[in-house]
Each structure stands twice: as C-alpha cells, then as structure tokens.
Amino acid sequence: MKKLVILLVFVSVFAQETTHTVKEGDTLWDIAGFYYQNPFLWPYVWRANLTNIADPHWIYPDQNFIIPPSPEEALVEVPEEMPVYVPEEEVTMIPSALEPTTEVISVVKPEERIFSEEVIHRAGFIVDEDMPYWGKIVGTEPKAERVITSFKKVYIDRAGDVAVDDKLTIFRPGKVITHPKTGKRLGREIIVLGTALVEAIGEEGSRCKVMASYDLIKDGDFVTPYEPILAPEKVELIPATKEIEGYVVEVKTERRLTPPHVFAFIDQGEQAGIAVGDIFDVYQERNVGGKDMPDFKIGKIQVISVFNEASIGLVLADREPISMKRGERCRLASEAR
C-alpha cells in the first residue's frame, strides 16, 4: 500500500507543468532525460516552447522553458472513487523537491554506459563505398511535417519485403572520410538520425513510427534495416602490447541534440587489429621559437566501432574545452580483452 501512495503522489505532481531555466551546457536531450527519465522525449519540450526555440540544436542560458506533463504520465488515470487506506506508521513523506513549483532546477546528467547499443548506434558508421539504396522517407502523417521527431508517423517507399515490427535505421549520408596526410579515401560517413518500427504495409509503401530521434529527421532521409549491435557489458584493459600509431581523421564537435558525447574517427581499423574498447592517446605537436618540442598529450579516444580502415571512438578529453582536431597523432595506449 505504501508503494501505491508514493506512485499516486508522484504521478499527480509530475502531471503538472513546471518551469526550467536553462544553465550553461544544457540541451533538450538532457532536460528531457532529467524530467521524464527518457531523453528521447525531447521533442515534447521543444514543441511546448516553439516561440522561444528557433532551432532545437541551440538553447541559451537563462531561457525559461515550460516542461509539460510527460506523454507517458498523461496516460495514467487515478480513479477518484478508489479510497486509499494507509496506516499512520507507513506514511512516507514526499521530499519537498517533488512539490509543484516553478523554482529553477538545474539539470543533473545521469551517467551513461559508454558501450551501450544506443551510444554505438548514434555514433554512426563508415562504409567503404556509398550505401546501397534500400528506401527513404517519402511522406509524413499528418502531411508536410517540417521536421520529424520521436513518435511521429512517416511513410517509406518499401513494401514487398517488409514485415510489421521490422526495425529500421534512419540515416543521412555524410561526407567522404579522407586521410589527413595522404588524402586517401577511408570511406563515407553515415550519420544515424534515429530508429523506426514498421506499423503497416501497403501496395507500394509502408507506414512507420519513429521510435528514437537522435537529431532532426526530414522528409527524404534514408532508411535501412536495423542491424543489431553487440555492445560489450564491460571491457578489461591491459597496456598496449603492440605499437600502433595513426592520425585523428575527424572530430565531430558540431552541436547535436545528443551530447555529452563527442565522437572522433581515426585511421586505424580492422586491418590493424583494432578492437572495441581499445584506447588511443592523442598528442599535439609543440613548436617553440621554431624548435620542435616533445609532443603534448591532450586526451584519449576509446574505440566503440571498428571498420575496415578506420574506427569511431568516444573522445575522453584530459581538459576542457576539447581542442582535439583533424590531423593530430594518436598512439595505442591500452588494449581491450
């Protein structure tokens, strides 16, 4: 009975609107994760504040946002006629922080496991050649949606070999990845925007529901069958047993809706024996008065996806702000096993 009372109070509190004042470093992704315990509900915060948010990629300190009731909580109904009896000794006090308020609350960012399927998926991937065409978004429900976010309906131009509940990856081709020193092509970046589930199948197309949006999705973006990701539960590291040096090929520092992760590409992959979990130290070359000085370590990259001639990793900066850039040298420091 005690648990029931706590649940009812929690639902009644968070079914009301509150207000959040943006702090430095906040994102809609973080805010939704804090208030709803589900960062993929960021579009609900965005839509409730369209007059204040011109672009959901950019929000600014001291902006005040309405935090609407979670769509998940709105589905919970508490019957008024159901009396609740709680013995006096079992009453649990609800912390005052849960009371309806417009008081400013700073976002607490939950710790996220590095090697989760979601993190690896939204980091994107690298293909040797251009992605073969499988399908694309050709319409929305309702029609002419300007941008597409979580839980929106979309239509795709694929029907014959699709089944209800098939999971799809929504993506956009990125730029060709080249080596910073030799110019050699290492592959093409694929920017993963989210996932969708097939809901219904027609003669020449299918209707899907967007289940997760890592960034803004648009009509014309591409879809392909989702490939399950084997994310290791834990990684045991040992000092590097082989000498492998390479270069940072790209650092994805542009503002996205799904921080705090900064992803980087390096020019070492399967051909060099790189594995998920391996850590590279990254160095900047130092020159003082025209004289070469010892290199300076600025951070680390932990590999989360490995491809033929390149890998994608998570930047682990030794200092802020992240100053890592294309062309800097990296050296294998720890191996995963």
* Residue ranges, the chain, pLDDT below 50: 1-14, 74-113, 257-259
Task: State how far the Cα of 334 lies from the Cα of 206, in Å rounded to an integer.
Answer: 46
CA neighbor of 149 nearest in space, from 88, 115, 194? 194
Contact of 132 with 188, CB cutoff 8 Å: no
Cα atoms in the 13 Å half-sphere on the side-chain side of 264:
30
Architecture of domain 2-98: Roll (3.10)
Q: Which helix (H) or strand (E) holds 331?
A: strand 329-336
Architecture of domain 237-336: Beta Barrel (2.40)
- pLDDT at position 218 is 93
317 bridge partner residues: 299
- pLDDT at position 234 is 79
Task: State how far the Cα of 286 lies from the Cα of 263, in Å rounded to an integer.
Answer: 24
- pLDDT at position 1 is 46
User: DSSP secondary structure string, 195-231?
Assistant: EEEEEEE-SS-EEEEEEEESS-B-TT-EEEE------
CA neighbor of 85 nearest in space, from 12, 2, 6? 2
Task: State how far the Cα of 155 lies from the Cα of 165, in Å rounded to an integer.
Answer: 14
- pLDDT at position 61 is 87
Biggest alpha carbon distance in the chain?
Answer: 82
Task: State how far the Cα of 145 lies from the Cα of 219, in Å rounded to an integer.
Answer: 8
Length of the chain: 337
Q: Which of helix, strand or coil describes residue 28?
A: helix
User: Domain limits of the chain?
Assistant: 2-98, 117-225, 237-336
Contact of 166 with 286, CB cutoff 8 Å: no
CATH topology of domain 117-225: Thrombin, subunit H (2.40.10)
CA neighbor of 236 nearest in space, from 276, 274, 281? 276
Task: State how far the Cα of 168 lies from the Cα of 7, in Å rounded to an integer.
Answer: 35
- pLDDT at position 301 is 94
Q: Which helix (H) or strand (E) holds 285?
A: strand 279-288
Task: Assess whether the region 117-225 and the region 237-336 belong to the same CATH fold.
Answer: yes
Q: What pLDDT digit, counting tens, does each position of 47-69 carry?
A: 788 888 877 777 888 888 989 88
Cα atoms in the 13 Å half-sphere on the side-chain side of 14:
20
Which residue in this structure is represented by tokens 């300076």?
Answer: 296
